[in-house]
Structure 1
Amino acid sequence: MRGTKLKYGAMGAIACAAIGAGLAFTAPAAAEVSEETAFVFNTLLFLIGGFLVMLMAAGFAMLEVGFVRTKHAAAICLKNIALYAIAGVMFYLVGYQVMYGGETAFFGMPAVWAPSELTGDAEIDLSTGYASASDWFFQMVFVATTASIVSGAVAERVKIGPFFLFVVVLTAAIYPIQGSWEWGGGWLDAEFGFSDFAGSTLVHSTGGWAALAGAILLGARSGRFGPNASPMQPSSLPLATLGTFLLWFGWFGFNGASQLALGSAADAVAISQVFANTNMAAAGGVVTAYVLSLILGRGKANLAYCLNGALAGLVSITAEPLTPTIMDAILIGAVGAVIATFGAKLLELVRIDDVVGAIPVHLFAGIWGTMAVPLTNSDASFYGQAVGVGAIGAFVFTASFAVWLILKMTVGIRLSPDEEIVGGDLSELGHAAGSIFASPEGKDPVPAH
């Protein structure tokens, strides 16, 4: 469903079939929109969806800043804004061509829009169904999301420079290669009917596998586990809550615009259903995580569980947000929250340090959401889904582990013990999160005239 090479007319027909039994829509001939109108609406969908997903970059940043200790807050902000920029540049230079065909270009300026779109409006080729640059923008923000997932899991001990080098490889090669297997019309799509509507596996589990490899090779934060373990208080749970709300909001673009068309009434109905299911899966995740936290906390609720419960619900529904009923979506999100909650406990048991819970939320819940697709979509099979999950997991984890290992053996990937004690803000940036504009004496700076 997510392959961008489909024409909007075909996608509208698919949406009609997927809306559900008992609902029929027959548009009178006079109500059919023109090719140009459909082109405009489809393009608008990509652009709106794209900037909503871009807002998720802010959500990841605030979530991560809220969960880390204060002495790492500024470093986290730098990581998040820079990884978004790096992802865009690398996806333009290399990744998009790898994922959707065409020659890669390490040097030069590959075009991502049709030649006709460089001329006047009257000469634009409308047969593609949307402006090519709008499609590229929408695809680009997805790869940035994958990189953001990795950032949270390895926070507080990874060096910024080596992390950026990993992001270069992830966004230029690892993500596009596995993405081409499904959304690029590759072997998973053609031979096994693997279905991942908006990326429970292709985006979220991919980020989770890459994060798991990094977390294993980095090791845990000093003092996180063992007999001398000390509590590591998050800097600001209100900021983490704001980040969760931003992610929840941006997810409507993530899933809704993955319908890839808004040129017909059928597409409009489908997108509406995707919005409703996306929202309610998150709601199911929050309620379930709240109840679980009460049980595990002996009557005391845990806000962090609830925040990750919302995200786990969103990740779970992402593989198929169109075909479930609203009750199905609530249950899918609820199961995702259970998996993420106990997945975090499992990581603690095996002493894998994941600061924000990215691996349980994005990897574990992503696998669940992908495997749940056949429960509501008869066009998918459990075998095909399992092949996709296994193949992508094996490739991404192996490739990511190799890249992290090479970086570890060459430039090093972890802060020194002293740097970790001081914190990433002072050791790598030279300033704390709130003091960059303060004078050395702590007084307010004198405004320039």
Structure 2
Amino acid sequence: MADAELSPEAQAAADFAETLNSGDIAWIITSSALVLLMIPGVGFFYSGLARRKSALSLLFLCMMSVAVVGFEWFFWGYSLAFASDASAFIGTLKHFGLMDVMRSDEYAPMTTLFILFQGMFAAITPALAIGAAADRARILPAIVFIFVWSTIVYNPIACWTWNGNGWSAVMGGLDFAGGTPVHISSGTAALAYSLMLGKRTGYNKTNGLPYRPHNVTHVVLGTVFLWVGWFGFNGGSELAANERAAMTCLVTHIAACMGAITWCLLDLRLDNKYSVIGFCSGAISGLVAITPGSGFVSPWAAVIFGIVGGIVCNFATKLKFLIGVDDALDIFAVHGIGGFAGNLLTGLFADSNIASLNGSEVDPLGWVDGHYIQLAYQLADSCAGMAYSFVLTCLILFLMNLVPGLSLRASKSDEDEGLDDTQLGEFAYDYVEISRHLADYTHSEHSDENAAEKGTAVSPTKTD
């Protein structure tokens, strides 16, 4: 008996299945997991740089970004960024609640994976910005901010950059993996958040923080998570397991290496000492700079991206002293300025020979191809992203601060006590709470001896 003829719906499903490539699917699933790994990496990086009495709150906010944006992306974020009937600025609610996305031909044949992968980008972006909350921001308003900011700031920028209808995409702007939507937007938002919160207690405009990073090991651990995850962040943006994706991973790694070396040398010239924090900051700077151009540039250009990224981000850490804004973790310097520099370098070094490694025909791209107008496109996109993120972030925070219960700043007593205690009630290091209370008074030799007999840690000064 002959097989029954398939219904049109079944035939469409069978045809769709034949278009899928298992290697591509495996790579995008892996890349999504790698980008997710980056978010606790950001948390460890930030918590290690901050004071230990607020370390756990930063980890909490970074992980909360995954949950809050995960819901926002399902609810309307994906539709606002990638709906096929989007305007030049923002999408519609065509896919509200992820309606009608199965077997869609908008980003076929892997729309479902595209939603998952881009959702991780949406989650890590406010996690990068929320480091500005260090030591002085209340947690509930920060969580509300993550949801609102993702909707009003991230989604429109993602739309105009990556949606085919977006004004930057139509203009010809190049941004392979998030120079503007991720790094410029988050870095600028962190600057605005720092400005609206005000300086931390004890902040000194001349010398900055009177506290050193409390756990450099956490900074290294966070850097490792980020470096590994960036292979998925950039390499996965090709949305295929092909030669261009492999080249993207290669140039990403080269830029990170050169950024780390450059920052270390810049610090060495000042202090005649090597810095682990400098190495980690430099690696992140190189990774940020290469992000927008990672699918467009050759390995020799990646060396330049890393060196320039390390230099500009290193010197940009001084900007907060010039403008008097307490950017606690130098987020604007590394992500805002690094992303801006990476966008401009992409306009110079984008190479059609690299972009065509996936088998497609590509028009001339950057200055190396003789396409000189590209630098103007990159500059326009970068300035628009920076201005939009800063103004809208300030407006969001200003309005939130007027709402009862959503005041941004923790009280001075809460700040002195530490956000881990007052906002969470949990601590990154339990022994700190013992030594804190013992250090509230001046220790005599006798009390030190008694403490030693009991095995209790003591300190002659109050801990932070």
Match of 2:60 in 1: 78
Mean alpha-carbon deviation: is it higher for 343-352 or for 157-166? 343-352
> Paired residue for 2:380, among 387, 390, 395?
387
SS in 1 for 2:421: helix
CA distance in 2, matches of 1:391, 1:43: 34
Match of 2:416 in 1: 421
CA distance in 1, matches of 2:111, 2:206: 57
Match of 1:24 in 2: none
Conserved in 1, the CA contact under 8 Å of 2:164 and 2:170? no
Q: Aligned pair in 2 of structure 1 residues 236, 105: CA closer, same or farther (>3 Å)?
A: farther
The residue identity in structure 2 corresponding to 1:434 is: Y
CA distance in 1, matches of 2:225, 2:393: 28
Match of 1:12 in 2: none
Mean alpha-carbon deviation: is it higher for 318-327 or for 167-176? 318-327
The residue identity in structure 2 corresponding to 1:424 is: L
Conserved in 2, the CA contact under 8 Å of 1:153 and 1:359? no
> Paired residue for 1:435, among 396, 408, 430?
430
SS in 2 for 1:405: helix
CA distance in 1, matches of 2:82, 2:206: 51
Cα deviation code 1:368-404 (max 9, x no counterpart): 0001112222425011111111222221111111001
Cα deviation code 1:63-105 (max 9, x no counterpart): 0111111101221222111111101101110111100116438
Query: Does residue 348 in structure 1 map to residue 327 in structure 2?
Result: no
Q: Aligned pair in 2 of structure 1 residues 227, 204: CA closer, same or farther (>3 Å)?
A: closer
CA distance in 2, matches of 1:76, 1:301: 27
CA distance in 2, matches of 1:151, 1:418: 22
CA distance in 2, matches of 1:346, 1:429: 32
**Alignment coverage as a number of residue pairs:** 392
CA distance in 2, matches of 1:76, 1:304: 18
Cα deviation code 1:136-170 (max 9, x no counterpart): 11010001111111121231111111111110112
Please report the TM-score for the alignment, with normalisation by the length of structure 1: 0.82
CA distance in 2, matches of 1:233, 1:136: 40
Q: How does 1:14-413 map to 2 (within 5 A)?
A: 36=18, 38-101=20-83, 103-104=92-93, 109-111=97-99, 113-114=101-102, 129-226=108-205, 231-262=210-241, 268-297=242-271, 299-377=272-350, 378-380=364-366, 381-410=374-403, 411-413=406-408
Q: Aligned pair in 2 of structure 1 residues 42, 425: CA closer, same or farther (>3 Å)?
A: same
CA distance in 1, matches of 2:320, 2:247: 35
Conserved in 1, the CA contact under 8 Å of 2:56 and 2:428? yes
Q: Once superposed, which parts of structure 1, at least 4 consecutive aligned residues long, lie more than 6 Å away?
A: 227-230
Mean alpha-carbon deviation: is it higher for 189-198 or for 274-283? 189-198
Structure possessing the higher relative contact order (Cα contacts under 8 Å, 6 or more residues apart):
1
CA distance in 2, matches of 1:331, 1:325: 10
SS in 1 for 2:317: helix
Q: Aligned pair in 2 of structure 1 residues 39, 229: CA closer, same or farther (>3 Å)?
A: closer
Match of 1:4 in 2: none
Q: Aligned pair in 2 of structure 1 residues 187, 227: CA closer, same or farther (>3 Å)?
A: closer
Q: Aligned pair in 2 of structure 1 residues 342, 128: CA closer, same or farther (>3 Å)?
A: closer
Q: Aligned pair in 2 of structure 1 residues 127, 191: CA closer, same or farther (>3 Å)?
A: closer
Q: Aligned pair in 2 of structure 1 residues 129, 160: CA closer, same or farther (>3 Å)?
A: same
5+ long unaligned stretches in structure 2: 1-15, 86-91, 351-363, 367-373, 435-453, 456-464
- Offset of residue 318 of structure 1: 0.6
- Offset of residue 38 of structure 1: 4.4
CA distance in 1, matches of 2:209, 2:177: 39
CA distance in 2, matches of 1:51, 1:379: 31
- Offset of residue 323 of structure 1: 3.1
- Offset of residue 113 of structure 1: 3.7
Cα deviation code 1:274-329 (max 9, x no counterpart): 111000100000000010001122x1223222211111100100111133222210
- Offset of residue 222 of structure 1: 0.8
SS in 2 for 1:181: helix
Cα deviation code 1:176-203 (max 9, x no counterpart): 1111112112343454201100011111
SS in 2 for 1:198: coil
The residue identity in structure 1 corresponding to 2:93 is: T
CA distance in 2, matches of 1:150, 1:126: 33
CA distance in 2, matches of 1:113, 1:48: 21
SS in 2 for 1:415: coil
Please report the TM-score for the alignment, with normalisation by the length of structure 2: 0.79
- Offset of residue 406 of structure 1: 1.1
Aligned-CA RMSD value: 2.6
Q: Which has the higher Rg, Structure 1 or Structure 2?
A: 2
The residue identity in structure 2 corresponding to 1:131 is: M
